[in-house]
Amino acid sequence: MTRTRAVALGVVVAAVVGLLVWRPWADDETTTGPPTTTTASTTTTSARGEPGAPGVGDPYYPGLGNGGFDVEHYTLDLTWLADQGVLEGVVTIDATATQDLSRFNLDLAGLEVRRVTVAGDVAEVAHDGRELRIEPADDIAEGADFTTIVTYGGKPVPVDEGTDIFDLGWHTDGREAYVASEPSGAQSFFPVSDHPTDKATYTIRVTAPEDQTVGANGLLVSEHDTGHGTRSWTYEASDPMASYLVQVVIGDYELVDAGTVGDVVIRHVLHRSLADEARNAVERTAEMIDLLDDVYGPYPFEAYGVVAVDESLAYAMETQTLTIIGSVTTAAGRGADQILLHELAHQWVGDTVSPATWQDIWLNEGFATYAEWLWLERTGQGSAADSARELSGSPELDAPPGDPGPNELFAPTVYFRGGMTLQALREQVGDDAFFEILRRWIDDHRNGTASTDDFIALSEEVSGDDLDGLFEAWLYDDEQPAL
């Protein structure tokens, strides 16, 4: 994610916003909407299960995600009733139990749950705050595959903690809608294990008024008129994706086929009110992919593009395969190059390799910021070392990027001192080892998550150096070191 801001020496750089303080929810099992309390089967099972954990224990947001299972695939079947601002959903979740499971949770904020089935049988449910507790008719044995279907609906409301720039999750502007979820807004529009450690593939099917166009992650595989004044669109995202990266956009859009770069399909979703400006802004996408291919290795997904919404967003966000920007960015034209490069870099650093915990956010933002500096370096606009040194001494960077705290998840230090950490590493180990580290980072953790400790270990393995002192000073000391 980026937000443009001016810092030392007049350099225009991308900074971020965002904050979510997770509040543990009460243990009483009040039910939202008509509860389902009758099971469809009385068959017993040999598994003697225990409840799955209601969160994965993230150090910043312990309630995010859920324990006891691993999701393989979500099928989102969404109907957008634009004139009412209502979203109706049926979500099918294919998962594998990681323990003998008697009960499990999903994350869902604000919407009414109408029915849940597990393995074909109606389940008991209780919806307490953001925790949807599901008790299947029979315990589920460890290692067993099972399917959960949740029928729900209502008026989606973004998660209201976090940032004074935007709320998290589903956004509407009249009849149109788009998504901006980092770190936990996915639960505002579908039931989900809402943490990067539980990635899954997605089928996203959206039915919307026939005068609107739908965009989503992955590739469009079908669209058709329903005969009822609506049109249905289906997208397949075949690579594992963290929930905060899911994108659904509905409105007066043009789908733009921009060809291919190698095997990568380039397609954009541009609001018709700013399509000409947006085309100009995204013109160098292929050139940027070529540069980052050289830095990190081949682009990690089957498609890439930009969705340009008719909103004056003060940020951009790296939703997987389909970066979201607003009219502020499109109006910048060539001045948006660094922002768009930053978000494209996230497809490698943040999307295919996601943070193991939200404390590790510098691995997203510091790396993408450093990619901006490499873009400048390789297009003859100044070295990465110059970009890093121009920021030295900025008082806002006297805070540790490796542990910014949940209230400072997107603080400037996460971006800029995070990028400066990589420059310090480059100067310590030399270019050959440094760029091998970056490529190995993607190769070793593709489609998964990784931590700061993982990055330190890799850096020491490749370089042969003891780097504890360097990373301690740059990531965890309050005072910024000198380059």
pLDDT mean for each 10 residues of the chain (483 residues): 48 33 31 36 56 97 96 98 98 98 97 98 96 98 98 91 72 95 96 98 98 98 96 98 98 98 98 95 97 98 98 94 97 92 98 97 98 97 97 95 91 97 98 98 98 98 98 97 94
Q: Can you read off the two tokens belonging to residue 59? A: 């150090």
Contact present, 145 and 93 (Cβ < 8 Å): no
DSSP code of residue 247: -
Is the pTM for the entire model greater than 0.85? yes
Q: In the prediction, which pLDDT does 47 show?
A: 53
What is d(CA 6, CA 15) in angstroms, rounded to the nearest whole number? 9
What is d(CA 402, CA 455) in angstroms, rounded to the nearest whole number? 12
Q: In the prediction, which pLDDT does 403 show?
A: 96
Question: Environment class of residue 49 by beta-carbon count within 10 Å: exposed (0-12), middle (13-18) or buried (19+)?
Answer: buried
CA 261 to mean position of chain CA atoms? 23
The strand ranges marked E within 98-198 are 101-107, 112-118, 121-122, 124-128, 131-135, 145-154, 169-173, 176-180
Q: Can you read off the two tokens belonging to residue 17? A: 């916003």
Question: Which residues on neighbouring strands pair with residue 88, listed in sequence order?
Answer: 79, 153
Cβ count within 10 A of residue 458: 18
What is d(CA 137, CA 119) in angstroms, rounded to the nearest whole number? 9
Question: Which residues on neighbouring strands pair with residue 118, listed in sequence order?
Answer: 121, 148
Q: In the prediction, which pLDDT does 48 show?
A: 85
Pairing mode of beta strands 169-173, 230-241: unpaired
Q: Can you read off the two tokens belonging to residue 355? A: 């943070």
Q: In the prediction, which pLDDT does 129 show?
A: 92
Question: Which residues on neighbouring strands pair with residue 449, listed in sequence order?
Answer: 354
Among residues 80, 76, 251, 244, which one has the least CA distance to residue 155? 80
What is d(CA 336, CA 328) in angstroms, rounded to the nearest whole number? 9
The strand ranges marked E within 183-245 are 200-209, 213-216, 219-225, 230-241
Indicate the residue type of 82. A
Q: What is the CA radius of gyration of the chain?
A: 22
Scanning the structure block, which residue is given the tokens 């039910």? Answer: 31
Contact present, 404 and 387 (Cβ < 8 Å): no
What residues contact 228, with CB distance under 8 A and at least 6 apart? none
Among residues 148, 157, 159, which one has the least CA distance to residue 74? 148
Among residues 108, 99, 119, which one has the least CA distance to residue 76? 108
Contact present, 190 and 416 (Cβ < 8 Å): no
What is d(CA 483, CA 467) in angstroms, rounded to the nearest whole number? 15
Q: Domains, the chain, ranges and CATH?
A: 3-17+351-476 (1.10.390.10)
